[in-house]
Amino acid sequence: MILIRAKRFDTLILGFILLVVSVRCSRELSDCDGADLNVDALNSLKATIGSSGPRAFLVVPNPIEATQSASVLATDSGLSRVTDPFQLGGLMTSTRLENEFLKVRIKSIQDEVSSLATPNTKDGSFSYPVSDVHYSEVMAYYAVSNVKRYVEALGFPVIQNRPLYVMVRGNDEDTAAGEVNAYYLHNRRNTSLPREMILYGDTAHTPGVDRDVYWHEFGHLFNESVSGDVGIDMAGESGAVYSEGAALHECLADHLAESVSNRGYIGRWVAQNFSSVKAGDPLRSALKSNDDKNSYQNVANFDATGKNLDRYRLAEWCSRVLWDIRTQFSKESPQRGAFLSDRLVFSAVSLLKKDASMKQFREALSKADGEMYCGLHSKSIKNAFESRGYNDAPTVLSNPLQLSAAVNVYSVDGSNITKPTSLPGSTAFFTVKIVNPNSAVARNVRVQLEAVDENLVPIAYSQSYGDLPAGATILTTQANGLDPMVYGVNGGVPTNSKANRIKYRLKVVIDNGPTTTNTGDFGL
Amino acid sequence: MKKIFGLLLVVGLAAYVIWGVKSNLESFAKNMNPKIESPAETPRDTSRVPTSVHPMELNSENPAVIANEYLTSKKEEWKIQPYHELRTSEVKLPLGTKITYSVFQDGVAIPGQEIQIVISKRGKILSIDNQYQALEKADPLASDYSTVLKRAKEKFEVVNEEPNEVLLYVVPGIQKPAYAYPITVKSKKGIKEELLIRASDGEVIAKAVSRKEF
């Protein structure tokens, strides 16, 4: 009897252990795609931004896409045939394109309210010709509200502690004459200022007509939000002309626009402003296969011409990697894969540091996949990077890079640059020569300038140069096309400095090897 | 009858476990496969795609508590100074919670010194970004905003005179932060620049370029 009881007890214990083990082993099928995802809601968000509010008549995403004609103009009367109605939800009043967070303006924050778009039909709708600036205002409200709701539906926050002003045709005085551009200002330190999205260019293909422009710029605000309002590109924000953090910012902004539209490219309308883009082609594409941006080495390796010190080249490569990952997710689940991929990619952003690198991002994607999807896509992620030339595990370099520097001191007064008569108040520009003596590539090479005492204030304190192949050299001279005033670090000598010689410390930091540190001093 | 029922239960559980372990091993083996395929070649594997959605709130413990405990355990190692106050903010994400500790001295923020900890929904620490430095205590604030603004206007065309919050800025390489005011000016080239002007002497100690272009 005692024996039988013991056996029963053993059986129960064994059963319990097996139950625990089995529950653990089967976790991947039940718990591996994170918190609730309302696919229907996410899909419907792409069509409208509310079930109430005034209607807006828009050509989405832009006239070229809507008509499939690269030669269409904003003034073409035929555009009325491809105009669709959209409900504008979330307005504070039905007559103004704003709510507590989003405020649409034309030229500046100070625009007179009377100059802004109001409903212009009998039933209270916004129905303006595409060529009218008020049309761009309506597009701005629709586009920004739409993409904001999309990321929120995915489960991400959007930082709203300050309003976002969108200027659909910014003041010319804030940019070069005739420039066509769009940018986002986070105004991180200037707490009295709002967030600003400013579009420029009163041209036949004005950016305000293109939904992708708003979605891309919103992507920058979104990156800041997911980072916890700390940012991922501190070097870029301090004046670096190039950094991997800056490239990631652009890549993720492109990817957001490409994902929400599900098109894999951006800016077919706005691209028509640029002679470098073929008629009808998009501004940037995650799908293009016939250019040199499909191989990591082509966009990341330092090139004496400086062509890879352009954040958009690495950004476009990166957007292609992300599109590959998204495509794989979509193959696995046509209904939900793309949303799950978007959630993965932007979750990875939350793991990035203040000066983010491609290495960090690659690792963050795997970590996010491991946490959210039980690591089921680790191979797909690895494949996506490797098939485009990215080596996860570059050779660890044994020798530090060799660094030498020359300092030129100037007195800078706007565009007037002269040789100074005294050190105080001058600016020191560093010309650097960096040699990779190793037999393998140095990854993510950047120079950092530090003060040794109060006689130097580094301003553009960090510059990145991409990957430096084995035996290659970086030389930032004007003769080389790499003006040290643009591509180098610099610092100011305070006006109250009494020193005759100014001490400094320069570092060369890489992802896969030791840091090089040089100290020196300079005078007049 | 009870014995048969018990036996069936054990057999059933064993089968369930074998299926679970096999599934996991297959998944593991697939991920360990060194063969490189382009994403387009990766076969669709629907068996590995979750078919239902479940929130992952397996650990009900407050992420802030987990982060605080971790931070407390690191206070000595990270040399967190008694005159530095760490204020928290939280961002809820699909992945978990990102907790940011911003550093303040006498109620003034020292940007760039943040500690960020991401806690998963299971209560695991996923990432730590520690930018904190055991900085010296800053000297007292020497000038108020109006004085600094007046000095700035002597040198620059100030775009926005609205007072910004004073902050403590760390010049790269220097261990003592300095009080500074962000002021937006228009450069002689006509471009807006966000400058940080040191309160003690009106010196420009940083320029911010928060502009992200298309």
Q: What is the C-alpha separation between A8 and B116, in angstroms, rounded? A: 51
Buried b (16+ CB within 10 A) or exposed e, B36-53: eeebeebeebeebbbeeb
- A414 vs B73: which has the higher pLDDT: B73
Can you tell me the mean pLDDT for A10-21? 54
Substitution target in A457, A485, A497, A503 with the highest count of B β-carbons within 10 Å is A457
Can you tell me the mean pLDDT for B7-13? 64
CA closest to A455 among chain B residues: B174
Chain B positions in Cβ-Cβ contact with residue A492 (cut-off 8 Å) = 203-204
Substitution target in B36, B59, B93, B148 with the highest count of A β-carbons within 10 Å is B93
pLDDT at A427 over 70: yes
What local confidence, expressed as pLDDT, does residue B30 receive?
40
Confidence of residue A17 (pLDDT cuts 50, 70, 90): low
Nearest to B208 among A189, A267, A331 (CB): A189
CA closest to A214 among chain B residues: B214
* Cβ pair B121:A35 closer than 8 A: yes
What local confidence, expressed as pLDDT, does residue A176 receive?
66
A10 contact partners, CB below 8 Å, separation of at least 6 = none
Chain A positions in Cβ-Cβ contact with residue B194 (cut-off 8 Å) = 187, 189-190
Nearest to B56 among A25, A34, A331 (CB): A34
Chain A positions in Cβ-Cβ contact with residue B119 (cut-off 8 Å) = none
What local confidence, expressed as pLDDT, does residue A4 receive?
44
0.90 exceeded by pTM: no
CA closest to A236 among chain B residues: B209
pLDDT at A131 over 60: yes
8 Å CB contact between A213 and A207: yes
Q: Which of the residue ranges A352-356, A436-440, B8-12 would you say has the lowest mean pLDDT?
A: B8-12
Residue whose C-alpha is closest to residue B79's, from B113, B112, B124: B113
Confidence of residue A13 (pLDDT cuts 50, 70, 90): low
Nearest to A185 among B98, B126, B210 (CB): B210
Q: Does the CB of A452 have a partner CB in chain B at under 8 Å?
A: yes
Question: For the complex shown, is ipTM > 0.95?
Answer: no
* Cβ pair A367:B127 closer than 8 A: yes
Tell me the pLDDT of chain A averaged across its residues.
91
Nearest to A494 among B45, B49, B203 (CB): B203
Can you tell me the mean pLDDT for A182-196? 91
Chain B positions in Cβ-Cβ contact with residue A350 (cut-off 8 Å) = 91, 93, 95, 98, 118
What local confidence, expressed as pLDDT, does residue A36 receive?
65
**How close B209 comes to chain A (CA, Å)?**
5
What local confidence, expressed as pLDDT, does residue B45 receive?
35
User: What separation in angstroms does the CA of A141 have from each of A86, A96, A137, A156?
Assistant: 11, 10, 6, 20
Confidence of residue A304 (pLDDT cuts 50, 70, 90): confident
Q: Does the CB of A492 have a partner CB in chain B at under 8 Å?
A: yes
Q: How many CB atoms lie within 10 A of CB A305?
A: 10
What local confidence, expressed as pLDDT, does residue B11 receive?
66
**How close B83 comes to chain A (CA, Å)?**
22
Nearest to B189 among A21, A380, A414 (CB): A414
Confidence of residue A21 (pLDDT cuts 50, 70, 90): very low
* Cβ pair B40:A458 closer than 8 A: no
Nearest to B118 among A249, A350, A494 (CB): A350
Confidence of residue B33 (pLDDT cuts 50, 70, 90): very low
Chain B positions in Cβ-Cβ contact with residue A457 (cut-off 8 Å) = 171, 203-206
Chain B positions in Cβ-Cβ contact with residue A217 (cut-off 8 Å) = 212, 214
**How close B212 comes to chain A (CA, Å)?**
5
- B26 vs A208: which has the higher pLDDT: A208
Q: Does the CB of A30 have a partner CB in chain B at under 8 Å?
A: yes
- A28 vs A356: which has the higher pLDDT: A356
What local confidence, expressed as pLDDT, does residue A47 receive?
56
Nearest to A457 among B54, B171, B188 (CB): B171
Degrees to nearest 5, angle at CA A258 with A253 and A259: 100
What local confidence, expressed as pLDDT, does residue B34 receive?
29
DSSP A227: T
DSSP A421: S
A499 contact partners, CB below 8 Å, separation of at least 6 = A423, A453, A455, A493
Segment 31-60 of chain A within 8 Å of chain B by CB: 31-37
Helical H segments across B33-86, by residue range: 63-74
pLDDT at A33 over 70: no
* Cβ pair B33:A267 closer than 8 A: no
Can you tell me the mean pLDDT for B198-205? 93
Can you tell me the mean pLDDT for B199-213? 83
Nearest to A332 among B44, B100, B182 (CB): B44
Confidence of residue B4 (pLDDT cuts 50, 70, 90): low
* Cβ pair B53:A36 closer than 8 A: yes
pLDDT at B55 over 60: no
What local confidence, expressed as pLDDT, does residue A15 receive?
57
pLDDT digit string (tens) for A455-502? 999 999 999 999 999 999 999 999 988 999 999 999 999 999 999 999
Q: Does the CB of A370 have a partner CB in chain B at under 8 Å?
A: no
- A90 vs B26: which has the higher pLDDT: A90
User: DSSP of A245-313, one letter per residue?
Assistant: HHHHHHHHHHHHHHHHHTSSEE-TTGGGG-TTSPTT--SEESS--SSS-SSHHHHHB--TT-TT--HHH
Can you tell me the mean pLDDT for B12-22? 56
Confidence of residue B163 (pLDDT cuts 50, 70, 90): confident
Chain A positions in Cβ-Cβ contact with residue B125 (cut-off 8 Å) = none
Phi-psi region of A259 (alpha: psi -120 to 50; beta: other; left: phi over 0): alpha
Chain B positions in Cβ-Cβ contact with residue A322 (cut-off 8 Å) = none
State the count of interchain CB pairs (< 8 A) between A and B. Answer: 269
* Cβ pair A182:B214 closer than 8 A: yes
* Cβ pair A181:B213 closer than 8 A: yes
Q: Is B126 exposed, middle or buried (0-12, 13-18, 19+ CB in 10 A)?
A: buried
* Cβ pair B172:A156 closer than 8 A: no
pLDDT digit string (tens) for A367-421? 999 999 999 999 999 999 999 999 999 999 999 999 999 999 999 877 788 998 8
CA closest to A425 among chain B residues: B203
What local confidence, expressed as pLDDT, does residue A209 receive?
97
DSSP A144: H
* Cβ pair B91:A270 closer than 8 A: no
* Cβ pair B205:A332 closer than 8 A: no
Q: Is A188 helix (H, G, I), strand (E, B) or coil?
A: coil
pLDDT at B60 over 60: no
- The token pair at A476 is 């930032």
8 Å CB contact between A216 and A267: yes
Substitution target in A31, A109, A189, A519 with the highest count of B β-carbons within 10 Å is A189
Q: Does the CB of A112 have a partner CB in chain B at under 8 Å?
A: no
pLDDT at A2 over 80: no
